[in-house]
Amino acid sequence: MTQAQAQASHSAATMDIAAVEAEAQRKIRARKQLVIGLRIAILVIVLGGWEGGARLGWIDPFFFSQPSAIVAQIVEWMVEGTSQGPLWTQVLVTLEETVLGFLIGSVAGVIAGIILGRNKLLSDVFSLYIQIANSIPRVVLGSIFVIAFGLGMASKVALAVVMVFFVVFANAFQGVREADRYMIANAQILGASPRQVTMAVVIPSALSWILASLHVSFGFALVGAVVGEFLGSKQGIGLLISTAQGAFNASGVFAAMIVLAVVALAADWLLHALERRLLKWRPQAF
DSSP state of 170: H
User: Which residues of the chain fall below pLDDT 50?
Assistant: 286
Look at residue 284 and tell me if it is in a domain.
no
pLDDT score, position 52: 93
Are 141 and 27 within one domain?
no
Judged by DSSP in three states, 285 sits in coil
Are 136 and 154 within one domain?
yes
Look at residue 24 and tell me if it is in a domain.
yes
Are 81 and 210 within one domain?
yes
Give the integer Cα–Cα distance in Å for 188 and 278. Answer: 25
| Number of domains composing the chain | 2
Domain boundary among 37, 59, 81: 59
The boundaries of the domain holding residue 148 are 67-279
Q: Assess contact for 159 and 227: CB atoms under 8 A.
A: yes
Are 139 and 232 within one domain?
yes
Give the integer Cα–Cα distance in Å for 113 and 98. Answer: 21
Are 138 and 263 within one domain?
yes
Give the integer Cα–Cα distance in Å for 114 and 201. Answer: 12
Are 26 and 109 within one domain?
no
Are 86 and 1 within one domain?
no
Q: Which residues contact 92 (CB under 8 A, 6 or more apart)?
A: none
pLDDT score, position 271: 80
Q: How far is CA 186 from CA 71, 119, 195, in A?
A: 60, 19, 15
Look at residue 285 and tell me if it is in a domain.
no
Give the integer Cα–Cα distance in Å for 155 and 158. Answer: 5
Are 102 and 8 within one domain?
no
Give the integer Cα–Cα distance in Å for 255 and 260. Answer: 9
Q: What one-letter code names the amino acid at 252?
A: G
pLDDT score, position 12: 53
pTM score over 0.85: no
* Digit-coded pLDDT (tens) for 178-191: 877 778 778 778 77
Are 110 and 232 within one domain?
yes
Are 141 and 261 within one domain?
yes
Look at residue 198 and tell me if it is in a domain.
yes
Q: Could you tell me the CATH number of the domain that includes residue 83?
A: 1.10.3720.10
Look at residue 119 and tell me if it is in a domain.
yes
Look at residue 144 and tell me if it is in a domain.
yes
Minimal CA–CA distance to 221: which of 52, 97, 88?
97
DSSP state of 151: T
Q: Work out the end-to-end distance of the chain between its first and last CA atoms, rounded to an integer number of angstroms.
A: 39
pLDDT score, position 2: 58
DSSP state of 283: P
Give the integer Cα–Cα distance in Å for 103 and 161. Answer: 8
Look at residue 286 and tell me if it is in a domain.
no
Minimal CA–CA distance to 173: which of 120, 136, 222, 129?
120
Q: Which residues of 66-84 are buried (b: 16+ CB within 10 A; e: fewer)?
A: bbebbeebbeebeeeebeb
Q: Count CA atoms closer than 13 A to 14's CA, side-chain side.
A: 6
Are 163 and 226 within one domain?
yes
Q: How many helices (H) and strands (E) does the chain have?
A: 12, 0
Look at residue 53 and tell me if it is in a domain.
yes
Are 33 and 162 within one domain?
no
Q: Assess contact for 90 and 239: CB atoms under 8 A.
A: yes
The residues with which 82 forms a beta bridge, in sequence order, are 85
Minimal CA–CA distance to 153: which of 47, 223, 232, 77?
232
Chain centroid to CA 14? 43
